[in-house]
Amino acid sequence: MASAEYRELLERVRELSTLEQVAGILTWDERTYMQPGSAPDRAKHNAAISGIMHERLASKEMGRLIRSLKKQELSADGAVILRAVERKWRIASSIPGDLVKEVSRTQSLATNAWVKARAESRFELLGPWLEKMIGLKLEVAEHAGYEDRPYDALLDEFEPYAKSRDIDAVFARLKHKLIPLAARILDEPGFDALVPKGKYPVAAQRGFVAGLITDMGFNMDRGRIDVSAHPFTSGACRDVRITVRYDEADPSYAVFPAMHEAGHALYEQGFPEKYYGTPLAEAVSMSIHESQSRLWENMVGRSRPFWSFYYPKFRQAFPAFKKMPAASFYRHVNAVRRSHIRTDADEVTYNLHIMLRYDVERALFDGELKVSEMPSYWNELFEKYLGIPVPDDARGCLQDIHWAAGSFGYFPTYALGNIYAAQLWDAAKRQVPDLDERIGAGDLNALLAWLRRNVHRHGKRYDASGLIKKATGEGLNEDHFIGYLKEKYGALYGISL
């Protein structure tokens, strides 16, 4: 029987979760329906909600409860919840309120500066803000604490319990294998897979992707699909809301962001009912979240079995595609190109974009790189990894909002997500031997059931590394990702990789 203190902790945890859900709805609204003139008011709403959450999380009562419960015998569930709450409480109560506010204020000003800097491709407009932000984030790291490097404290915010020394090792191996592999693929002649010319109405595209994500298992009775400039997933508990962007000249364009965001959404909607409102119904980390989105987007959505079932449906929705053979369409959705912009990158080159960013931010926080040297360091690495020069900073180190927003330590989770996705995909195929056939027959539920059982139902019970070991039998291993690329692109180009 749970103690009164444990019940009080649960009540506080649930209230914090509820406030986080409210913030999720506000974020969704801000990026979909809120009119631009209301942005200053919305900033106040966000500040009020996060201020109240911080006040309640870092409160003395919370500290008292946590210290007392640590001495008590808790159930397995209780121990998971306590560990997750203690982690958040420790971080929240270690960082002074004034520093939190200063970071938040600097984020607003720096992202404004970034918008202008990127538009005009002038790094000097952003540089001083990045210096300030890095200084503040180093302070945050000192308060939060770390073992090896200040950077680890920042990484920990997005990827709990991860260490940069482990990421260094896996990225070094991945880089070593991926740079020549990508170069080999990129050196092959490209395909001329032209999309039939036409204007494909958004309503028909929305119908197709809504049907598809419903087939995936997305619960449309609770969640939504809308439009925004940059696709994202937000919401509250099982009220998960995803957004996509449509290209009226190419209806295949929206399919991949839709499957990506639906992959995130299936995770959020897939925790055990009774745990919602607690860390047992929360994602492990950003990398595990990303493994879910990338698995559906790439391993499923860009596969032959998937399109063998869905291309006929796609052609029904967009009859002009009857002119485009299935093989050409498959090549079209798997085109590999040298490109400057991360968000446009294909699955072969994407991790190179990420590892470059990781190298840059690690060097900045280790004091090995000055902010003023960042553009030239970026450009040098870019040519080394991708094989083409960077034409300007707008298409170089100014392209992403993350650093201006103070999100150092976020980028590596994208690549970790890709690696984990390949590991999970291999494990699922081993355990469900006819998985490809099922997907080819339009049955996406076999994969979802496997993910529910091996990933979703655990919530935060394990950390990322523990979860992957349990689900796949081994820890972080880039070989599955490399093997996946070799097999797929070898077959596609008819070359041996």
Tell me how far CA of residue 312 lies from CA of 33, 200, 203, 271, 446, in angstroms: 34, 17, 19, 33, 21
Torsion of CA 6, 10, 16, 20, to 10 degrees: 140
CB of 15 to its own copies, least distance (A): 6
Q: Whose structure tokens read 């395909």? A: 191
66 is written with which tokens?
């946590």
Q: Please answer whether residues 267 and 455 qualify as being in contact, where contact means their C-beta atoms are separated by less than 8 angstroms.
A: yes
Nearer to its own copies, 22 or 193 (CB): 22
Any idea of the CA torsion for 270, 274, 276, 278, to the nearest 10 degrees? Answer: -120
Do 63 and 89 contact (CB within 8 A), yes or no?
Answer: yes
HEC-encoded secondary structure of 419-483: HHHHHHHHHHHHHCCCHHHHHHCCCCHHHHHHHHHHCHHHCCCCCHHHHHHHHHCCCCCCHHHHH
Nearer to its own copies, 147 or 221 (CB): 221
* Beta carbon nearer to its own copies, 22 or 320: 22
261 among known catalytic residues: yes
Residue closer to its own copies by CB (options 47, 449) is 47
- Comparing CA positions, the residue from 173, 253, 155, 268 lying closest to residue 208 is 253
Residue ranges in contact with its own copies by CB under 8 A: 15, 18-19, 21-22, 25-26, 29, 33-38, 41-42, 44-45, 48-49, 52, 219-224, 226, 236-239
Q: For the CB of residue 239, give the shortest distance to its own copies in the complex, in Å.
A: 4
Residue 274 neighbours by CB under 8 Å, 6+ apart: none
- Beta-carbon contacts of 9 under 8 Å, excluding residues fewer than 6 positions away, are 65, 66, 69, 81, 82, 85
Pick the catalytic residue from 159, 261, 282, 478.
261
DSSP string, 110-155: HHHHHHHHHHHT-GGGTHHHHHHHHHHHHHHHHHH--SS-HHHHHH
Judge contact between 460 and 279, C-beta under 8 A: yes
Q: Closest distance between its own copies and the C-beta of residue 369, in Å?
A: 41
User: Which pairing describes strands 233-236 and 224-227: parallel, antiparallel, or unpaired?
Assistant: unpaired
Distance CA 148, CA 127 (A): 27
Query: Residue 235: CB partners within 8 Å, gap ≥ 6?
Result: 21, 24, 25, 28, 223, 241, 265, 268
Report, as residue numbers or ranges, the catalytic residues: 261
